Chains A and B, each alone.
Chain A
């Protein structure tokens, strides 16, 4: 394949330097890509498509004409991160989740950070994800967010920023693992040349973390994965993780809270006690007794059982309080406050529309900024200034003025690119990176993460629900000279 016409366009490319030389850890991959023919690449691509089809790797897209179960979009060219750089990112993610958990535990208990005036009280009051019902609860190890999926982006100067911390029900880890399997099938020869950090043991780590928070100390507590069911967009992942952990995959209707306030699942033998629930259902649907009374997905009495310490929930209800884009702007402060450390990974500079001055700046510069709702996920409700129409900006201005607390704005980050197989040749496409961090009494970060890629030329939206694809991510030892 010819890379001579590859256009860097002033972005940071993960595999190539501005002069189209391979970056130090990508040398062999680039050499290999240059060597093989277009026909050969297409052959590999078709092999990958077929593998994804037969392995049944899918995600569900909601649409007006019903839900569609789509094959997972995957690009065969991997993204490479040198090990040394990764070590720093890993430390940064551990630091961040530790601080976030301190924060969540604090706001539901003593609220020291508010008393010390490092975090404004009214932000908590207006937070959509702060759950008054969770006050004065202390989960095991003081950990509320046992799983976190962080979205990282790299700007054109090479700086890696944290864009979001997903603390509610972050998804994507199964696709990260399946991408690796597919790449192994497609490019086995590259795995011989490279020293790629394996990531396949994630399900074991997940099981360890979940077991460690069991209310009953046991070798093998009963861990279950609670799914909203087959029509959820991440159902594939729920089933995948349950299977990989050897845990039961349950739906709300499989569980019942008995008179002793313990949670049981309905089995062929009768009722059987459940210790830990890895829940993939949003807070508000968990327990119709406490939250959304119309929810058929949840289990009546579940929060009662959790409060009494008879069952562990991961993530804990209310953990989403820190998954709010306004709260996000305070994370560097949290790191200093709770850990007395400097943040290793910077936040994207953000404007909080709550603040009058910052709001005026945002409204005056809409076409240069990205405006985000504080509590949405999946890229919904987002305005990308430079790509927006006048009408969209006017609409956003109206929304921001109506509910300033609900919006933050950030400068447009020129997301880095990775060579991607397009229709006839290899072109740069923008990517982000979602590593997954686990925490209980120990912290674990996946080696790499899920690289999401905007498949449309020039697009910065990488969400799979909006035309994004994915790539395998390799953390590698640099090539020897």
Chain B
């Protein structure tokens, strides 16, 4: 498999996952606003910081109000986390690798792109937003399902999955992070009873509420939610699960030594988390470091399989 193609597969996985995550995030926060009118301002700026794009946002907009944030997250072509941007890039990568994926997948991604282009501006209004975002997640599910069912589960497919699992793990850590930041920051002016609503919101944004209830049974509380989202092996959006998937994808790859080391190292870190202690002390710093570790896996993946400058290739041949 060509290095260039592997790289594009990987980014298809990442961008589709990113679009889905963004859609979920906006959707759930928009409904949270209705529950917690008093903390609206935290919610919208929180969303920007989840995505790590506060700097970019404030170079373009003055206020982090609903209108600006929604526009930034859905329709801003210059924001690499926006739905418009993600789908455009997913399509661009698919367009340049059409020969690799089943042609239905390309048709679907292309249709997805047309859909987003056509509807994104009208979706900025509240009344059309929900339906639009549901369509985004539904398109993503269709594509994931189509690839799962119709594409050979070989190297190309593995690169898509490496991309989507890495993106997903990263997003889950960000959502947990912001959940905690909001809690810590708001302790003084928000009654503690609202914490539960906030954690429910965190679970919902990952479609994790139902699974959490089935699995944990206890009422929603910060310790159990964080543990579930970090350490659960069965829930697909939990960090531990994503890492196991990554491990499975990397295992049959050629030259996987370094990447496998990076993945297993993060797996070990997650396994050894003491959630209660982290919540007391430095969860935020911990997650910062975790994100650096995930970024390191990305670097390792692209260095091992995507690097194709003549010089590098020559080195590797030796």
Q: Interface of A with B (CB < 8 Å)?
A: 53-56, 225, 230, 239-240, 242-243, 247-251, 253-254, 256, 258, 265-271
Cα-based distance from A266 to B110 in the complex (angstroms):
28
Find out whether the CB atom of B107 lies under 8 angstroms from the CB atom of A55. Answer: yes
When A243-B103, A266-B313, A268-B155 are in contact, do A230 and B95 touch as well, CB less than 8 Å? yes
The 25 listed contacts between A and B (C-beta, < 8 Å) are: A54-B107, A55-B110, A56-B106, A56-B110, A225-B99, A239-B99, A240-B98, A243-B98, A247-B99, A249-B99, A253-B308, A254-B4, A254-B308, A256-B310, A266-B3, A266-B308, A266-B313, A268-B2, A268-B305, A269-B255, A270-B255, A270-B313, A270-B316, A271-B313, A271-B317
Find out whether the CB atom of A248 lies under 8 angstroms from the CB atom of B2. Answer: yes
* Interface: B253 (CB within 8 A): yes
**Closest chain B CB from A182 CB (angstroms):** 13
Within 8 Å CB of A271, what residues of B? 313, 317
Q: Which of A53, A240, A254, A256 contacts B2 (CB 8 A)?
A: A254
Residues of B in contact (CB 8 Å), total 28
Within 8 Å CB of B308, what residues of A? 253-254, 266
- Encode B88-128 as 1/0 by CB contact (under 8 A) with A: 00000001111110010011001100100000000000000
**Closest chain A CB from B87 CB (angstroms):** 14
* Interface: B37 (CB within 8 A): no
* Interface: B6 (CB within 8 A): yes
Find out whether the CB atom of A54 lies under 8 angstroms from the CB atom of B111. Answer: yes
**Closest chain A CB from B205 CB (angstroms):** 31
Find out whether the CB atom of A251 lies under 8 angstroms from the CB atom of B99. Answer: no
Q: Which of A54, A243, A265 contacts B99 (CB 8 A)?
A: A243
**Closest chain A CB from B61 CB (angstroms):** 28
When A267-B1, A268-B305, A269-B255 are in contact, do A54 and B310 touch as well, CB less than 8 Å? no
Find out whether the CB atom of B3 lies under 8 angstroms from the CB atom of A268. Answer: yes
**Closest chain B CB from A244 CB (angstroms):** 8
Residue of A242, A267, A268 with highest tally of chain B CB at under 10 A: A268
When A55-B107, A248-B2, A266-B308 are in contact, do A230 and B96 touch as well, CB less than 8 Å? yes
CB neighbors of A among B248-262 (8 A): 253-255
**Closest chain B CB from A205 CB (angstroms):** 18
Within 8 Å CB of B310, what residues of A? 256
Within 8 Å CB of A253, what residues of B? 4, 308
Cα-based distance from A230 to B255 in the complex (angstroms):
30
Cα-based distance from A476 to B68 in the complex (angstroms):
61
Please give me the residue from chain B that is nearest to A236 by CB atom: B98
Find out whether the CB atom of B99 lies under 8 angstroms from the CB atom of A56. Answer: no
Question: Secondary structure at chain A's binding surface: helix, strand, loop or mixed?
Answer: mixed
Within 8 Å CB of B96, what residues of A? 230, 239
**Closest chain B CB from A61 CB (angstroms):** 16
Please give me the residue from chain B that is nearest to A245 by CB atom: B99
Find out whether the CB atom of B3 lies under 8 angstroms from the CB atom of A267. Answer: yes
| 17 extra A-B contacts, CB within 8 A, seeds A270-B254, A271-B313 | A54-B107, A54-B110, A239-B96, A239-B99, A243-B98, A243-B99, A247-B99, A253-B4, A254-B308, A266-B3, A266-B313, A267-B2, A268-B2, A268-B6, A268-B254, A270-B313, A270-B317
Within 8 Å CB of B253, what residues of A? 268
Within 8 Å CB of A269, what residues of B? 1, 254-255
When A54-B110, A270-B316 are in contact, do A239 and B98 touch as well, CB less than 8 Å? yes
Please give me the residue from chain A that is nearest to B114 by CB atom: A53
CB neighbors of A among B1-41 (8 A): 1-6
Please give me the residue from chain B that is nearest to A246 by CB atom: B99
When A56-B107, A239-B98 are in contact, do A256 and B313 touch as well, CB less than 8 Å? yes
Within 8 Å CB of B3, what residues of A? 254, 266-268
Q: Which 3 A-B pairs have the closest CB atoms?
A: A243-B99, A242-B99, A239-B98
CB neighbors of A among B299-318 (8 A): 305, 308, 310, 313, 316-317
Please give me the residue from chain A that is nearest to B7 by CB atom: A268
Cα-based distance from A250 to B96 in the complex (angstroms):
10
Within 8 Å CB of A247, what residues of B? 99
Find out whether the CB atom of B2 lies under 8 angstroms from the CB atom of A265. Answer: yes
Please give me the residue from chain A that is nearest to B316 by CB atom: A270
Within 8 Å CB of B97, what residues of A? 249
Within 8 Å CB of B98, what residues of A? 56, 239-240, 243
Please give me the residue from chain B that is nearest to A69 by CB atom: B95
Find out whether the CB atom of A251 lies under 8 angstroms from the CB atom of B4. Answer: yes
Within 8 Å CB of A240, what residues of B? 98-99
**Closest chain B CB from A200 CB (angstroms):** 13
Within 8 Å CB of B111, what residues of A? 54
Cα-based distance from A377 to B103 in the complex (angstroms):
31
Within 8 Å CB of A56, what residues of B? 95, 98, 106-107, 110
Within 8 Å CB of B6, what residues of A? 268
- Encode B57-79 as 1/0 by CB contact (under 8 A) with A: 00000000000000000000000
